[in-house]
Amino acid sequence: MERTGFLPWRRKRKPDFVARTIAGVAEAIERSVYTEEYARTDGFLQRVDPRAKVVVFICAVLAVGLSRSLPVLLALYVATVLMALTSRLPLGFFVKRVLLGVPLFAGIVFIPALFLIHGKPLVQADLGVLHLAISDNGLISLAIFVTRVSASVSLAILLVVTTQWADLLKALRVIRVPSVFIVVLGMTYRYIFLLLQTVENLFLARSSRTVGRPTDAEQRRWIGSSMGTLMGKSFKTSNDVYQAMVARGFTGDVYTISDFKMRDEDWLFVSLSVVLLALALIFDLGLR
Amino acid sequence: MMATTVPAEAGETNITNEDAEHVFQLDAVSFSYHGRHEALIDVDLTIERGEQLVILGANGSGKSTLLKMLDGLYRPTSGTIRAFGQDITDVADDPVRARELHRRVGLVFQDADVQLFSPTVYDDVAFGPLQMGWDKERVTREVARALEQMNVTHLSDRAPYELSGGEKKRVAIATVLSMEPDVILLDEPTASLDPRSSAVLVDVIAGLRDLGKTVVVTTHQLEIVPLIATRVVVFGDQERRPVASGNATEILSNAELLIRTNLVHEHLHFHADANLMHSHLHGPEHHEG
């Protein structure tokens, strides 16, 4: 909000938690909808059978996990980026999702190990009784770790973003994920939207009836009561959904239907990918 | 192709007593939630084959509870309900017969979001047939038919949360039509729909009669009653049982009944110089000057 001429002395305040929550919930819903839009785009991976994608994803994650050389890991990461580009995913969207969080998180996890791996010291510091040194081997290990995590997360994003959620769930059956797990996962995703909308409405209703800035104590009290309300609503919804399932013959076992068809192109995609990943691993072994 | 997983073909369990005259027969049925709040008190009601019954009642008159009881989801606290000539409590106790009851009696919930729990419309419409243990060809055929009957075939790959209110309602009806039910129970089908979606849905409900279905609709929206009802039963919100029964014209012209059951309200209006007490019914015949 811009400053007005009537209140020149007022400083721009940070939005309180209500405004932040409303914005966060709206953003979460919007992001999810946009993600589904990408899955409907006519790109390379979007045309591949979801089961083929799941198989290749598992093989690729295994290859990334087993690989120990930085060049091979970097090559695999570049390959995922190229796949994203051929699948018409915006580069900024894809890379930002990975690079903003993963290196930071992985780096923090790895920092203690950075000082424990022996090798040729590159940076040293004496802090009294504590001698800290970062070795060349430590830095290489950090780079391998961050690249491995980035490549794995990129693969997961690539799979999720280029596959409609419903298809992805059905495709999980190919790796023998139990039906009940798939159905529960699907229903969780389905009803999380309703709960997000409920949260948004709760916060909007509160915001519309609030004048001035509530105290921290008031805000804490309200959060507590909202959590209770949300829990009650979600409990009622789960009961209603269960009744709706029973009303259509549900007796505890879940049955699903699949109309996927593996085409020659899908088999080719799986075969080529597996061969290339195997070659990458063999090359990786040669570099050790 | 991925194998379809369906249970072993369930035999067509017969829960029908073909000599039964009524689809449902309720004798002195009461129901209370947690033994405290009485939702229905001493309800006597019969529902005939092929009729389109509208149950009119204000909020809290027990309409939704009644539909859940007719579908075997709630058991009466006292009294008996017979569905197709069989005691519904006995049927509900037997999982195989209960499944057949749920196939023959399709319940469309008031909140379509509750009914549409699958990732896509197609999965939702296929859910019931798959639970029945039908083979894949039959499931595919029935789903296609139900989607077409409700004119929602083009929505089959969409996620339920992407649909409009009217579309959700039509898909919700398709989810029960795919099970080839004899009876369709609709709980407040036009609630919170815009006038156009409401009109489309009224046409859909009226069309169910042409499919030979027995239809029971609960509502408090008087304007849809003459369009869909062959018989109307009014539930009192104080009595929590039927207080009147008749055809749409008889019921809707009984202003005193509608006011007493909170289906319309009366209040003072100033019309020019006249001070009139009148109810919110259509037509000048209801004005009491």
pLDDT tens-digit profile of B128-151? 999 998 999 999 999 999 999 999
Number of domains in chain B: 1
Per-residue pLDDT band at A135 (split at 50, 70, 90): confident
Which chain B positions have a beta carbon within 8 Å of A187's beta carbon? 117-118
Which chain A positions have a beta carbon within 8 Å of B10's beta carbon? none
Share of chain B above pLDDT 70, in %: 85
Model's pTM, two decimal places? 0.74
pLDDT tens-digit profile of B38-65? 999 999 999 999 999 999 999 989 999 9
Q: Number of Cβ pairs closer than 8 Å across A and B?
A: 102
Assigned domain for B123 exists: yes
What pLDDT, on the 0 to 100 scale, is given for residue B192?
80
In this complex, do B102 and A247 lie within 8 Å of one another by their Cβ atoms?
Answer: yes
Assigned domain for B126 exists: yes
What pLDDT, on the 0 to 100 scale, is given for residue B289?
38
pLDDT tens-digit profile of B114-133? 999 888 899 899 999 999 98
- C-alpha distance from A240 to closest chain B C-alpha (Å): 6
ipTM above 0.90, yes or no: no
The Cα A179–Cα A200 span in angstroms is 32
Number of domains in chain A: 1
Assigned domain for A11 exists: no
Question: Could you give the residue ranges of the DSSP H alpha helices within B184-288?
Answer: 195-210, 225-228, 248-252, 255-260
pLDDT higher than threshold 60 for residue B288: no
Question: Could you give the residue ranges of the DSSP H alpha helices within chain A?
Answer: 17-40, 44-47, 50-66, 70-86, 91-99, 102-114, 136-161, 165-171, 179-208, 216-246, 264-287
Assigned domain for A3 exists: no
Alpha carbons within 13 angstroms on the beta-carbon side of residue A92 total 0
The Cα B149–Cα B174 span in angstroms is 8
Assigned domain for B139 exists: yes
Q: What is the C-alpha R_g of chain B?
A: 20
What pLDDT, on the 0 to 100 scale, is given for residue B278?
58
The more confidently predicted of residues B24 and B200 is: B24
- Residue B34 tokens read as 């947690």
Mean pLDDT, residues B203-229 taken together: 91
What pLDDT, on the 0 to 100 scale, is given for residue B17?
53
| Domain boundaries, position B163 | 49-65+96-252
CB-nearest to B131 from A193, A248, A261 is A248
pLDDT higher than threshold 50 for residue B4: no
Per-residue pLDDT band at B281 (split at 50, 70, 90): low
Mean pLDDT, residues A73-95 taken together: 91
Assigned domain for A33 exists: yes
Share of chain A above pLDDT 70, in %: 90
pLDDT tens-digit profile of A240-259? 999 999 999 988 777 777 66
Contact assessment for residue B174 and residue B153, using Cβ atoms and an 8 Å cutoff = no
Assigned domain for A275 exists: yes
What pLDDT, on the 0 to 100 scale, is given for residue B270?
53
pLDDT higher than threshold 70 for residue B1: no
Assigned domain for B79 exists: no
Assigned domain for A10 exists: no
Q: Is the dihedral of CA A17, A23, A24, A26 positive or negative?
A: positive
| Domain boundaries, position A74 | 17-208+215-287
- Residue A261 tokens read as 């068809």
The Cα B185–Cα B81 span in angstroms is 15
Residues A62-82 as b or e (16 or more Cβ within 10 Å = b): ebbeebebeebbeebbebbbe
- Residue A152 tokens read as 């794995």
pLDDT higher than threshold 90 for residue A18: no
Which chain B positions have a beta carbon within 8 Å of A166's beta carbon? 118-120, 123, 157, 159
pLDDT tens-digit profile of A180-198? 888 788 888 878 878 888 8
CATH code at position B215: 3.40.50.300
Per-residue pLDDT band at A201 (split at 50, 70, 90): confident
Assigned domain for B213 exists: yes
